[in-house]
Amino acid sequence: MDFDFRLLIVLLPILAAAGWAVFNIGVVALQQLQKFLNKEA
């Protein structure tokens, strides 16, 4: 079983971009949630 490293080279930037997007969306979502909770209190 020989692993094809070209596949990894193609997937790495895609996974990095996806992870970065999820991280940014998560941060904004948490900020909005905190704002909402503070407004309710």
pLDDT on residue 29: 96
Q: How many angstroms separate the CA atoms of 5 and 34, rounded?
A: 43
* pTM, entire model: 0.60
Dihedral, CA atoms, 5, 9, 10, 11, nearest 10 degrees? 90
pLDDT in tens, 1-41: 688 899 999 999 999 999 999 999 999 999 999 999 999 87
pLDDT on residue 20: 98
